[in-house]
Amino acid sequence: MPGVSREQIDRAKQVDILDYILKHEPDNVKRIGSAYYLKDHDSLAISNGLWIWRSHDIGGRNVVDYLIKVRGYSFVDAVRHLADDGNQCAYTPKVKQPPKSKQPFLLPPCNCDNERVIAYLQGRGIATPLILDCIERGSIYESAKWHNCVFVGRDDTGNARYATLRGTGVDFKRDAEGSDKQFGFTLPPGDLHSDTVAVFESPVDALSHQTLYPGFGGWRLSLGCTSLTALTNFLERHSEVKTAVVCTDNDKAGNAAAERIANLPDISATRFLPSAGKDWNDALLSAISERKPSLIERLESAKTTAAELNSVNKHACTYQKSKAVERG
């Protein structure tokens, strides 16, 4: 390779991504749970020796890829940068640590009320009766410390096995420690023997779909991203389900997940794309905006109403004065 040697390339690819970030971008990183996030690209997460930039649907294992795809380096410049003598400390081989024991699953403590969660979901366009029903069933609640919206996945006995958190005032997303992704957030149908399941990437998308299509008679299941773990476990537990309506996002990752679902055995899959935007919450908010008059229209309507009231008041005032003159 012109400009760099094979030894330099091999050494550059050994650099641990987190070691590099902590040394060269220490003020541009924040830790949330077990992962690290960049401040200038808050959808870029670093965890377990990997980095993934969710908003761009790219990621990698080594720093060379990071420098090229995120920081705009050429391949040669990235390798030279990492092979520079000043970065030698980054090449110290890491001692492989024994795997951590899995943390026990515990739901975050609940808040005394759910006001912020209700306001957050209403702001996403979710129907209020649906929100209250989920709170009543214990599948949604507000956490005590950070007031996150907690979406709960339960097993067939009703025990909580999974929880994913969304910030109600900040852009925050993570699963609770010890969560079992086999048990995704689920919205049950009126008929629990339904043979159809609609599959979504997130709980908010499932709720958005139910708000848009309350007459749909099947299950709604959130995968918690694009892994099929929750779906395969659901199908094993619900042998009567033979049809999947695939409602994953209309993007590269969502379409790839749809193809994998279509290849699952013993189930018929139908793709159902959101009518607007990338996901079902986009579609819901678009539908709401189309039904509501614009701000300008509301202002013009208010002006017209005010003018009409003013005209009526003037007429009433003139009429009262004329009557007063007649009596005089």
- How do beta strands 173-175 and 196-200 pair? unpaired
Residue 289: C-alpha distances to residues 95, 272, 292, 293 (Å): 55, 21, 5, 8
CATH architecture for residues 6-91: Alpha-Beta Complex (3.90)
Give me 273's structure tokens.
């794309």
From first CA to last CA, the distance across the chain in angstroms is 108
Contacts of 203 (CB under 8 A, 6+ apart): 140, 151, 164, 185, 222
> pLDDT by residue for the chain (328 residues), tens digit each?
457 888 888 888 888 888 888 888 888 888 887 788 898 888 888 988 889 888 778 888 888 889 988 888 888 888 888 876 344 444 444 455 566 667 789 999 999 999 999 999 999 999 999 999 999 999 999 999 899 999 999 999 999 999 999 999 988 999 999 999 999 999 999 999 999 999 999 999 999 999 999 999 999 999 999 999 999 999 999 999 999 999 999 999 999 999 999 999 999 999 999 999 999 999 999 999 988 665 555 556 555 655 555 554 444 444 444 544 444 5
Report DSSP letters for 6-40, one per residue. HHHHHHHHTS-HHHHHHHH-GGGEEEETTEEEESS
**Residue 261 near residue 229 (C-beta atoms within 8 A):** no
Query: Chain-centre distance of CA 40, in angstroms?
Result: 19
**Minimal CA–CA distance to 184: which of 195, 197, 169, 170?**
197
Class of the 115-286 domain?
alpha beta
Q: What confidence score (pLDDT) does residue 320 get?
A: 46
